[in-house]
Structures are given as structure tokens and as C-alpha cells.
Amino acid sequence: MKTFQVPSSYHSTLISAVKNKRRTEDKMKKDFTPTLLDFGPLHIYLARHFGFCYGVENAIDIAFRIIEENPGKNIFLLSEMIHNPQVNKDLKNRGVRFLQDTQGKQLIPFDSLQSTDIVITPAFGTSLEIDTLLKSRGIHTENYNTTCPFVEKVWNRSGQMAEKKFTVIIHGKPGHEETRATFSHASSGGPALVIRDMEEAKLLSQFIRKEKSSEEFFELFKGRYNNGFDPTKDLERIGVVNQTTMLASETQQIADFLKHAIREESETKNENTNDRFADTRDTLCYATNDNQSAVTGMLSTPADFAMVVGGYNSSNTSHLVELCELTLPTYFVEGPDKLISKEEILHFDLHTHEEKLKTGWLSDNIPLRILITSGASCPDAIVESVINKISGFINGADSVVW
């Protein structure tokens, strides 16, 4: 397996040892039970899989190497490298400037760039339009590309589908950088449409069955389809790919649901469903699958609450929070500084999109049992700092056995 050079400040001796032990004992990754860190009066259960994925380590490795190899040069990132505040802060502290924010708002004009400047493409990738614009200014984007290989796999699969005259349905958040990039690549070859969730898949099925008009389609999915999209023709043959950080189970549910809608519509025409629906199971990201499966496995362990560590604008992290909330009270924190005291915690509410102060968050239960995981863009060092902060609040939790 390829290894990456990641800043030592992102590593955790404890968590690296835990992960290496689990990897050795479970080489086939079949065991999704958590690892118990026994502090005596405090029991922390770490998810089987969490933290940096292949794509994130690859991006960090490339970005920091670019900085080291190009002293004195202007170095820019198209947007955040990954959705973790600590990593992006570290890049800014090393002189990297961001051209856009995560929503695509321009922070530094493209026309201010020079051909000698370096522009790094983040792990989410970028649109063909932006890539073409940068190359027109003499900037060699291919030399500084950190796009996740699994994102590129989705693009390649979308291209193959387009060649076979399938419309690409993208399960993703419309404003997310990765979804914008995937939509650009997919729509360059043929019809493409972005849907957010199962509710929108149900709406889409009504257009597949010709139950609603084109006018209603254009209004409901405004800004989500490419120019020239014709719902009366372009929903005849479809396939589903995803923003790799979405819930993999939901992507599969959407694909199965839309395939069923195609099947029902095909039966009225005596057509073969397989000729109208592309198989895209191979586009689901393995790391997203593993982290989500590990949370499901972790949640079978009785606990007082769950904690998810990571950037608040991280899509994959937010979905881990959603999974935990189905079973337990859940706190979503960026790092140890949000754990103010044994009485107070500042955590992010996914539903209101704001941080909230919670009092009395740590109970006096002995042992206090906490489930912990983190997003794919969160350094293990931050998770260890959170664990240390919690153990510091509990009398007698001075050493750990695992």
C-alpha cells in the first residue's frame, strides 16, 4: 500500500498503535466492533475505522511537498484543501492563499494570477471550466493536482455512462465543491442532474413515469441540470453516481429506487430494464463505506453519548453525526477547545447550523461510556487531544488500558 508523508503534528502515538493492532488482527476488515480504551471510571469506545482516508493523506502529502519544493513562489489553493479547519489553517500559515471559499465565492480574482504562480487543485477536484480558465493563463494545473483518486473514478465512470447514452444522476449536495466538479465532468459528455436525497429521488421517479410535466421538472430541479436537458428523453436511460462523502447506504437506496421506477416504466413498453439502467456500484468510496459501517458497528455498544470530531463543513463527518443521532445523544466538535469544562461543551447542531452551548453534558455515571469517531479529514492528533481533555475531567482517569 502506498505511504504518504503527513506532518507529524497530525499523528497520534496512541491512535496509531490502536489502528495498527486492529489492522493486524482484522486484515480483511470484517470486524466493525469498536476498540475499548479503559480509563477505569471512563470507557471510551473508538470506532473501528475513522480519520484520514487515502484521498486526504494523498492531498496533504502533495500540498505540503509543493510548499517545500517551491520557496518564494506564490502558491494558491482553489478552495479549502479538505474540510478541516486545522489543516487549512496550517496551509495558510505556510503562505498558501485560497482563491475561492467552499461555496465557490471568489476571494482572489483569477485575472490577478500570473503564469508563474502555482494553483493547487484540492482533494474535491474542480470543474472543467475553471481548469480551462487557469490553463488559458498559462498555469499548469496538472502538476499540482490533489484530486482524490476515488473522485476521479466517479468522473471516469460518468464518462463511460455518457458514451453509452446514459444520463448521469448525481447523488450529492448541490453546492459542495466535489458535486460541482462531478457535475461539470459528467455534463461535458451528456445529460446530468444533481439530486440531494431520497425525497428528490421520489420526485424524479414521477418524471420517469411521465406523471409530471417538463415545466414542473425545470422548476423543481432549477440549477441542477445542464443546458438542453430534456426530461421527456433524458430520463429514459439513467445511472446513479455519488458525491463520495454522502451516505453510501442512501446512494444505494436511491439507485435501487430509481431502478425500480425504470423497471415499472419499462414493463409498460415491454423493454429490458438492464438496457435502461447503468450499474454503478463500483463508484462508492471504500473509506466512506468503512467509516459509516464502523459507526453502525460502534452504535451496538451501550453508551451514554457519542462524540464526532471534525470540521463542521465536512460532508462525510456530518453523515457520521446523522448516524449517531439515530441512537444516542451526539456531540459534534471541531476539537478539544470546544470541551470547555466538565459542565459545558460547545457543539455544532446540524439542524440549525450553529454552535450551541450545552451544560451538564458529562454525567456522573461510573464508568462513563462514550463512543468516539471522526471524519475522514480529521487528524488523529485532534481525536487524541479530545480524549485527553475528557479524561482530564474525570477523577481517577489517569491511565488507559486497551
Q: What is the pLDDT of residue 279?
A: 80
Would you tell me how many other CB atoms lie within 10 Å of the CB of residue 217?
A: 23
The CA distances from residue 258 to 114, 200, 210, 290, in Å, are: 47, 11, 14, 25
Residue 32 forms part of a structural domain: yes
Residues 264, 320, single domain; the answer is no
Residues 6 or more apart whose CB falls under 8 angstroms from that of 170 comprise 179, 182, 183, 186, 192, 193, 194, 195, 240, 241, 242, 243
Residue 2 forms part of a structural domain: no
Q: Which of 123, 86, 38, 60 is nearest to 382 (CA)?
A: 86
3-state SS, one letter per residue, for 220-276: HCCCCECCCCCHHHHCCCEEEEECCCCCHHHHHHHHHHHHHHHHHHHHCCCCCHHHC
Report the C-alpha gap between 346 and 336 in whole angstroms. Answer: 10
Taking the model in full, what pTM does it have?
A: 0.92
Residues 6 or more apart whose CB falls under 8 angstroms from that of 93 comprise none
Question: CA angle at residue 283 from 282 to 289, to 5 degrees?
Answer: 90
The CA distances from residue 215 to 166, 233, 258, in Å, are: 22, 14, 21
Residue where a domain stops, chosen among 266, 284, 302? 284
Residue 314 forms part of a structural domain: yes
Looking at the 3D structure of the chain, how many domains does it have? 3
Q: What is the pLDDT of residue 353?
A: 95
Residue where a domain stops, chosen among 144, 170, 199? 144
Residues 31, 62, single domain; the answer is no
Residue 33 forms part of a structural domain: yes
Domain CATH number, residue 89: 3.40.50.11270
Residues 275, 301, single domain; the answer is no
Residues 193, 75, single domain; the answer is no
Each residue of 95-108: pLDDT tens digit?
999 999 999 999 99
Residue 327 forms part of a structural domain: yes
State the catalytic residues.
178
Q: For the chain (length 402 residues), average pLDDT per consecutive 10? A: 88 96 93 97 98 95 96 96 93 97 94 96 96 95 94 94 96 94 96 97 96 96 96 96 90 94 82 81 80 96 98 95 97 98 97 97 95 97 98 94 93
Q: Confirm if 55 and 122 have CB atoms less than 8 A apart.
A: no
Q: Confirm if 340 and 275 have CB atoms less than 8 A apart.
A: no
Q: What is the pLDDT of residue 1?
A: 62
Q: Which residue range(s) make up the domain with 297?
A: 8-53+287-393
Q: What is the pLDDT of residue 249?
A: 86
Residue where a domain stops, chosen among 233, 254, 284? 284
Beta strands in 51-191 (DSSP E): 75-77, 97-98, 118-120, 167-171
Residues 219, 113, single domain; the answer is no
Integer-rounded Cα radius of gyration of the chain: 23
Amino acid at 78: L
Q: What is the pLDDT of residue 280?
A: 78
Report the C-alpha gap between 379 and 400 in whole angstroms. Answer: 21
Report the C-alpha gap between 307 and 304 in whole angstroms. Answer: 10
State the cell numbers at 247. 451516505
Residue 402 forms part of a structural domain: no
Residues 370, 315, single domain; the answer is yes
Residue 139 forms part of a structural domain: yes
Residues 6 or more apart whose CB falls under 8 angstroms from that of 98 comprise 76, 77, 78, 79, 80, 88, 92, 107, 108
Domain CATH number, residue 387: 3.40.1010.20
Residues 166, 269, single domain; the answer is yes
Residue 3 forms part of a structural domain: no
* Look-up of cell digits 446530468: 192
